[in-house]
Amino acid sequence: MWALWLAALVIISTTHWVYRWRNPKCNGKLPPGSMGLPLLGETLQFFSPNTTSDIPPFIKGRMERYGPIFRTNLVGRPVVISTDPDLNYFIFQQEGKLFQSWYPDTFTEIFGRQNVGSLHGFLYKYLKNMVLNLFGPESLKKMLPEVEHAACRRLQQWSFQDSVELKEATASMIFDLAAKKLISYDPDKSSENLRVSFVAFIQGLISFPLDIPGTAYHKCLQGRKRAMKMLKNMLQERRAKPRRQQSDFFDYVLEELQKEGTVLTEAIALDLMFVLLFASFETTSLALTAAIKFLSDHPLALKQLEEEHEAIIKQREDPNSGVTWKEYKSMAFTFQVVRLANIVPGIFRKALGEINYKGYTIPAGWAIMVCPPAVHLNPAKYQDPLAFNPWRWVGMELNGASKHFMAFGGGMRFCVGTEFTKVQMAVFLHCLVTKHRWRVIKGGNIIRTPGLQYPNGFHIQIMEKELQKDEIKHTST
Q: Give the residue ranges of the annotated binding site.
A: 415
> Residue 414: is it exposed, middle or buried by C-beta count within 10 angstroms (0-12/13-18/19+)?
middle
Task: Give me the DSSP letters along 118-139.
Answer: G--HHHHHHHHHHHHHHHSHHH
User: For the purposes of burial, counting CB atoms within 10 Å of the CB of 452, is it exposed (0-12), middle (13-18) or buried (19 or more)?
Assistant: buried
347: helix, strand or coil:
strand
Identify residue 318 by its one-letter amino acid code: D
Q: Which helix (H) or strand (E) holds 82?
A: strand 77-82
Pairing between strand 367-370 and 77-82?
Answer: parallel
Helix or strand (DSSP H, E) at 43: helix 43-47
Instruction: Count the alpha carbons within 13 Å of 427 in the hemisphere toward its beta carbon.
Output: 30
Asked if residue 238 lies in contact with residue 254, where contact means CB atoms within 8 angstroms, the answer is yes
Binding residues for heme are 415
Residues linked to residue 368 through DSSP beta bridges, in sequence order: 80, 349
For the chain, the residue count is 477
The span from the CA of 167 to the CA of 385, in Å, is 24
Q: Which of helix, strand or coil describes residue 413?
A: helix
| Cα(315)–Cα(111) distance, integer angstroms | 45
The secondary element (H helix, E strand) that includes residue 348 is strand 347-351
